[in-house]
Amino acid sequence: MKPVLTARASLITALVLSPLLPGPVRVTAAPHEEEAVRSLKALRSVSRIGVGFRDYLPRLHDTAIAVDRYLDTQRSPTVLPRLVRQAMKQYSLAARAWEAKIHDVPAFANALRGDDGDCPALRALLDRTLEEWRVRLDESPEGRLRWQTIQLGLRILSRGSQADPERARKIEQSEADRLVIESAVDALWQCASRTIDEIEQTPR
């Protein structure tokens, strides 16, 4: 009879104490969510006050780690994770555009046309024609000089028997793309800042 009584006693003890015993540890999204949002807001602050490219990259990397850690806890496509992912993408695209500007790679504008990071400000730049850029450049002496240099190069290409309209068109498009790249970083930072505003307004 002793084994039976012992077994019953153990069962009763387990039933009584089970609500008091710690269960399996679960990782909640809340701390990671706070860390991700805090990191994005810190990156926004840095971009607003001014930062060099070399200082921006490590900050971007640290933010990406915090964002990835948070997104790894998400299993459903709710509003908040989508916005966090979008803001991170916009900051990442800004870094790539900045690098393209440093190395004078206007062709990167084509990559942005394929993925503009859901950034209306960047899309407006990408849709702007060279003639529309002329109007914007005309707003400053430096811009007018830039436009005159572009036009001089195009006129040289169009002269005489060596005229090559197709080459002139490509150069014109390349100049328009270069102007896009030069303005893309600020446009993407603008969009990222607005996305963070949406994150702050999203119910938790």
CA distance 161 to 136: 33
pLDDT tens digits, residue range 96-109?
999 999 999 999 99
The tokens 């102007």 sit on which residue? 179
Cβ–Cβ < 8 Å for 103, 178:
no
CA distance 37 to 200: 8
pLDDT of residue 18: 44
Q: Is residue 49 part of a domain?
A: yes
pLDDT tens digits, residue range 75-85?
777 899 999 99
- The number of folded domains in the chain is 1
pLDDT of residue 16: 42
Cβ–Cβ < 8 Å for 79, 202:
yes
Q: Is residue 191 part of a domain?
A: yes
pLDDT of residue 163: 61
Q: Is residue 6 part of a domain?
A: no
pLDDT of residue 162: 61
Cβ–Cβ < 8 Å for 54, 178:
no
Q: Is residue 181 part of a domain?
A: yes
With a cut of 70, list the residues of the chain below it in pLDDT.
1-29, 157-163
Q: Is residue 7 part of a domain?
A: no
Residues sharing a CB contact under 8 Å with residue 111, sequence separation 6 or more, in sequence order: 96
pLDDT of residue 173: 84
pLDDT of residue 20: 44
Taken in order 39, 40, 46, 51, the sign of the CA dihedral is: positive
Exposure of 57 by Cβ count < 10 A (0-12 exposed, 13-18 middle, 19+ buried)?
middle
Q: Is residue 13 part of a domain?
A: no
Q: Is residue 160 part of a domain?
A: yes
Helices (H) and strands (E) in the chain, counts: 9, 0
Q: Is residue 9 part of a domain?
A: no
Range of the domain at 105: 27-201
pLDDT of residue 15: 39
